[in-house]
Each structure stands twice: as C-alpha cells, then as structure tokens.
C-alpha cells in the first residue's frame, strides 16, 4: 500500500498547475441554472480522456417527478445533462460514489465583485469566481484524485463512481435522478466547501410561503382596516419562538459550535401597494431547517401546529386563517455514525497528509447527501476544500493549497476504501 500512496502523492504534487487550469476552465463557464451544458461538456471530455465509462443523460420523466423526494419548479432539463463516469474495479472491494454538482448560484450585483465573476483569476494563491468554492473546486479535487490513481497505473477492487449532477442548488433533482438510475455504493464523499472539516450529518431544509390576510382601508382611517403587515409580525414572532423550541431539543455535540443548528429564516416579505392604504395581504417566504435525525414531514407538522395555535389565539386569524405552502427547494437531511468505517478511512488519510486529526461537525446547510443516504441508502460524508462562509457571496474564491490537499486526502481514501489489486 505504501508505494502506491507515494506514487499518488507524487503525481498530485507534480500536477498542481494542471488542477488549477482545469478549475479555471470550469469557473470561466457560467453554469447557473439552465446553463449547465457548457461546463458539463468540459467535465465530460475530461472523463473521456481518463478512459472512464460514461453515462450521460437528460433527467426527467414520471419516475423522477413523481418521487416523494423530488422538489423542483424547473419545467425543462433539456440540453443540460447529468453525468456519471465509472472507474470499474476488478471486484471484491468496496465501491464509492464521488458526487459533485456543476450548477452554481447567480452572481448577484457584479459591482460587489473585485474581479469578473467568471474570470477564474488567480491571485495570492486564491482562484476567484462564482463556483470556485461551491463547488467546482471540489469537483476538480475529485477528478484529480481519480486521475492520480489512473496515471499511477493502480488497479482497484471496488468501483469508483464519479457524478457531476445538475440542480443541487435547487433541491437535488440531479442526484435523485442518478439514484433512481441505479447508482448506489458502499460509501460516498461529497466535496462541498466544508473548510476541510468532515460533516457526517447534514441539516435538511425546505422553503415555505405563508399568506396573511388583512382588511383594506384608507390610511387616514386605518383603524377601520386590519393591517396584514401587523398580523405578519405575529407570525414572525411565532416562528422565532418555534425556532428556539426546536433548537433547544438538539443535544448532539456535533452542533456545539453552530449557534443555531436548524434555523428558520425569513428571506422575503411582500405586502402593500400604496402608502396611504392598509394592506390586505402579506406574503412571508423563508427556509426551515430540518434536523439530521428527523423527517421532512415531522418538521412540516411542527410549523403547521405552531401556526394553528397562533390562529386560535388571535380573533382575526380565527376568522381568516393563515395559508401555509411548501414550495420550491427542499433538501433531505442526512446522518452517518461518527464511528462508520468511511469516517475512519477519511480520518486516517487526513491525518497522514496534514499531521492533525480533522474537525468533525454537523453541516450548517443542506446538501445532496440527504438524497444519497435516505433514498440511495449510501453512507455519506461531506468533506471538501472551500470556504463555507463565502460560498454564495461576492468575491467567491478557493485557496488552491486546500484544493490540492483535499485531492490528496480523497485519493488516499479511495485507495483505502476500494482496496488495491496487488501486483
């Protein structure tokens, strides 16, 4: 084993510039929702050059859209395919899925960026651009890990299943499609930007919309109306209390350094059409966090009961109940025991490369890991290069040294997990 690990480490050390160039190519392509094809084409060509067995398809169909875990408002996936590329093992070893998403969030106000959001600019050891951290850097770490094994002439017993999927940022339809296509494994690594921490548990989440009804009136006689904005304040207060109650039940030490393990975030409020009118409607939209150890349905029921109690306490809301809708994005929670063999192998590889044990925490956000674990019955660890705090922010970037380190750790983990065919 030692000589093979040395070969892989040496190859990755000698090909750092190659990794940076590949990431530049990916970042320079705008792969926001509905525009994934050009970036995916680069990944497909890379996998073809590596000699991997390719499966390229456009997701969709009744099996996907009717599945309980499917949640997506996208009408068409045409022209923007999923990719699975397999390095087939000889048999007898454990298989592994290496899952990365190719879609990125919008850039926001470009005036807040120091460089073009799709420049791939390298400055002071950092590569800038939308998706550099979330998560094209992680994808490159996976590809370089696979290439290092192939280039070193190493044969594995277990299969390595690389996935480049669409739609992660909008609820995970791409990964769900891959699971329904039959891709499962003995373990999986998702290289989301974890600041090089290991996340065996992932928070789930879902979007909600609450419609508040009021009664219109002239602003000069506002006492004749019922302000939907004022009633929405009661809703927000109830949701804040619900957040406190839900988080008070969480005792898992993996959440110790996370101030609010499963937040309820109010992201958007719309109400009113005229300053001199009492608004008769307010719409509150937000995101509800889901504990790794609870179901989506159980979390939904808690919010439904919370709002029902509020309506019972308010005379107006008794007559005009709140309307709650679950819409848009939804991410399944995921959980893996910290003593799982995959955690052990990844920890050993991390320790070998860095000289220190990894930090193991719970994820503060949702990933496709919930789909792989709950639907695909595949144990998942989220671990990758990139800075969690700037993933969707302006001036997104990745520290290239972290990318190189993560790639080496993942490569060694693959060798340990899949096992080597000894010469």
Which residues are known catalytic residues?
Answer: 103, 168
By the 8 A CB rule, do 388 and 142 touch?
no
By the 8 A CB rule, do 12 and 401 touch?
no
Quote the Cα angle for 361-161-33, to 5°.
75
Of the candidates 100, 126, 149, 113, the residue with the CA atom closest to the CA atom of residue 20: 126
The DSSP code sequence of 139-170 is HHHHHHHHHHHHHTT--BSS-EEEEEES-GGG
Tokens for 224? 């004749």
User: Which residues have a Cβ under 8 Å from the Cβ of 14 and sit 6 or more positions away?
Assistant: none
Bridge partners (DSSP) listed for residue 216: none
**DSSP state, residue 302:** H
User: Which residues have a Cβ under 8 Å from the Cβ of 297 and sit 6 or more positions away?
Assistant: none
Quote the Cα angle for 19-13-195, to 5°.
65
Decide: helix, strand or coil at residue 48.
Answer: helix
């Amino acid at each position: 084993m030692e000589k093979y690990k040395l070969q892989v480490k040496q190859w990755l050390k000698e090909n750092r510039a190659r990794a940076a160039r590949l990431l530049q190519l990916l970042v320079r392509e705008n792969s926001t929702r509905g525009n994934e094809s050009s970036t995916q084409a680069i990944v497909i060509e890379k996998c073809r050059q590596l000699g991997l067995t390719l499966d390229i398809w456009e997701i969709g169909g009744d099996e996907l859209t009717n599945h309980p875990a499917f949640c997506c408002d996208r009408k068409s996936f045409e022209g923007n395919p999923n990719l699975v590329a397999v390095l087939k093992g000889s048999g007898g070893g454990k298989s592994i899925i290496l899952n990365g998403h190719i879609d990125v969030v919008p850039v926001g106000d470009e005036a807040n960026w120091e460089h073009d959001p799709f420049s791939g600019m390298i400055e002071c050891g950092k590569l800038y651009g939308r998706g550099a951290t979330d998560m094209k850097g992680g994808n490159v770490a996976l590809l370089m890990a696979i290439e290092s094994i192939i280039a070193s002439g190493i044969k594995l017993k277990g299969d390595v299943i690389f996935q480049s999927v669409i739609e992660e940022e909008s609820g995970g339809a791409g990964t769900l499609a891959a699971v329904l296509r039959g891709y499962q494994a003995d373990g999986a690594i998702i290289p989301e930007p974890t600041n090089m921490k290991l996340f065996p548990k992932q928070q789930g989440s879902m979007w909600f919309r609450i419609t508040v009804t009021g009664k219109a009136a002239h602003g000069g006689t506002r006492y004749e109306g019922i302000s939907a904005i004022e009633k929405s304040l009661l809703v927000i207060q109830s949701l804040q209390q619900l957040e406190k109650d839900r988080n008070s039940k969480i005792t898992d030490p993996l959440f110790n350094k996370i101030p609010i393990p499963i937040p309820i975030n109010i992201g958007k409020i719309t109400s009113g059409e005229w300053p001199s009118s009492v608004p008769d409607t307010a719409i509150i939209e937000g995101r509800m966090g889901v504990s790794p150890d609870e179901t989506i349905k159980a979390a939904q029921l808690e919010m439904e009961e919370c709002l029902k109690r509020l309506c019972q306490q308010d005379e107006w809301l008794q007559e005009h109940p709140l309307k709650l809708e679950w819409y848009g994005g939804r991410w399944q929670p995921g959980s893996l025991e910290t003593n799982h063999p995959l955690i052990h192998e990844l920890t050993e590889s991390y320790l070998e490369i860095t000289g220190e044990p990894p930090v193991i925490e719970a994820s503060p956000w949702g990933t496709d890991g919930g789909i792989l674990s709950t639907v695909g019955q595949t144990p998942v660890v989220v671990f990758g290069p990139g800075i969690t705090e700037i993933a969707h922010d302006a001036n997104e970037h990745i520290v290239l040294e972290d990318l190189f380190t993560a790639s080496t750790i993942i490569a060694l983990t693959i060798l340990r997990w899949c096992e080597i065919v000894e010469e």
